[in-house]
Amino acid sequence: MTSLILGETQSVIEYFEILLPLAMILVCTKLFSVLGKKIGLPQVVGMLIAGILLGLIKLIPNQQIFTSSTLEGLSFLAKIGVILIMFSAGIETDLKQFKTCGFPSVIITLLGVIFPVGLGFIVAAACNTGFSGMTSDEAIQNLFYGTILAATSVSVTVAALKELGKLGTKVGTSIIAAAILDDIIGVILLSLFVSLKNGSGVGNIGVVIGKMVGFFAAAAVVGVALHFVMNFIEKKYPHTRRLPILGFAICFFFAYAAEKWFGVADITGAYIAGLVLATVREHDYIDRKVEVSSYMIFAPVFFANIGINADFSTLNGAMVGFGFAFIAAGLIGKVIGCGTGALICKYGIKDSLRVGVGMMVRAEVVLVCTQKGIDNGIVDPNIMPFVLLLIIISTLLTPLFLKLSYRKEMKAHGHILNDPLQPLLTTADGEPLSAEAAQSATRREWQVEPDSIDDSDID
């Protein structure tokens, strides 16, 4: 009978024991992600809630579903899932956005990282370790709490701005461009603090930074070569499955090389691999195949595994106070930091506030950063419920505040905010389209698109 040996404890698991938990996870995460989407929440929130509910099974005496062995097997799948999530995030990063809003997006991003990281550090230090006599390990821990807050996910913001017909404005392009750089900086900071933790403190900071620089230099050289190789294969064998298969191989190689040879987080390697493939002609096709593979099994297991392993029994008043202060730091830090950056770049007060509000949304990247900190023993696992609350609160507040900020302008132009075709009937600056242009835009909106699953792929 086939068995697997997992973990340092050499625990043995029969392969079929993981199949029932896996089936339950796939069904429940899909159900709750659909429900979450219907009420305006990111699908990852639904997956997390599904995981929390499934985790209640562990409270049943003598249950044989979520045993220590099966949980270890699920954790293994979850680690593959987080690598694929970051790989896909890298592929979807469009560096060309900087051509339209380069300098302002840099300023907005830098301040949008400094403020939440700084506030997160202050809150963590005040609530956990104190400022006097702080050791290097405690400083790394407190800074990592701030790093968690650096991540941004603007998919909700993009949807809200698109509904308002403001996605192509200066505010919209600035937010999208800043979010791209924001993710890159966040991933680098995550790798830095994880490496410092594993390298025994700030005394080795020179070695750690040297290894990171070495990794990025090596990745750049290999990446240029892979760019030409992938484009050559695409030209010779267009739209074939060998492209995403090679993409997976590149992802896993970069993740392995980053962790094993350079001491950089594996998810950083996966993200850089995605950035490399984002430059090839068939990047959309590769990304689609990666997302299908990831979100069929690995990503649901990752998000559900977070919920299943959540332990609320050790929560106390001090942790609850810290958790809510942490959420406030995450929201306020982005609004003040990004808003100040926009003001420095001579945006108006209203537009600066819109940029700040638009950048405060969090989603899957903040979960990846938090879980990485938990896995490396840097942050308290009890912070995870508050990270989930941060995602929910920012997701609900951002579109609401954006709509309120544009209400007077929309009324002045006679817009109906709830009309799904309204963004199509206006220019990027909110001016009404001509009758002929509006009719053409409406026809494009309802045109049937080809099925996203292309069964004509060949080997």
Q: CA distances (Å), 237 to each of 11, 122, 260, in order? A: 45, 54, 33
Question: CA 311, CA 66: separation in Å to the nearest integer?
Answer: 14
368-375 long-range contacts, CB within 8 A, separation 24+: 368/82, 368/85, 368/86, 368/267, 369/147, 369/148, 369/150, 369/151, 369/186, 369/190, 370/148, 371/82, 371/302, 371/306, 372/82, 372/190, 372/194, 372/265, 372/267, 373/144, 373/148, 373/194
Q: What is the pLDDT of residue 128?
A: 81
| Nearest one of 150, 445, 90, 144 to 276, comparing CA atoms | 90
Per-residue model confidence (pLDDT) at position 422: 44
CATH code at 80-408: 1.20.1530.20
- The answer to whether 28 and 278 have CB atoms below 8 angstroms apart is no
Q: Where are the domains of the chain?
A: 3-79, 80-408
The position carrying tokens 């080809």 is 450
Q: Which amino acid is at 133?
A: G
Location of structure tokens 């997701």: 395
- pLDDT of 246: 94
How confident is the model at residue 449, as a pLDDT?
38
What pLDDT is stored for residue 221 in this prediction?
95
pLDDT in 10s for each residue of the chain, 459 residues: 445 555 544 555 677 889 999 999 999 999 999 998 888 777 888 898 999 999 999 989 988 899 888 998 999 999 999 899 889 888 987 777 666 666 788 899 999 999 999 999 999 999 887 888 788 888 889 999 999 999 888 777 887 787 778 877 888 888 888 887 887 888 888 888 888 887 655 557 788 888 899 999 999 999 999 999 998 998 888 888 889 999 999 999 999 999 999 988 898 999 999 999 998 888 889 999 988 888 889 999 999 999 898 877 778 888 999 999 999 999 999 999 999 999 999 999 999 999 999 999 888 888 889 999 998 889 999 999 999 899 989 988 998 898 888 887 766 665 544 444 344 444 444 444 444 444 444 333 333 333 444 444 555
- β-pair partners for 4: 13
Residue 102 is predicted with a pLDDT of 66
Centroid of chain to Cα 114: 18
Report the distance separating Cα 384 and Cα 146, nearest Å.
14
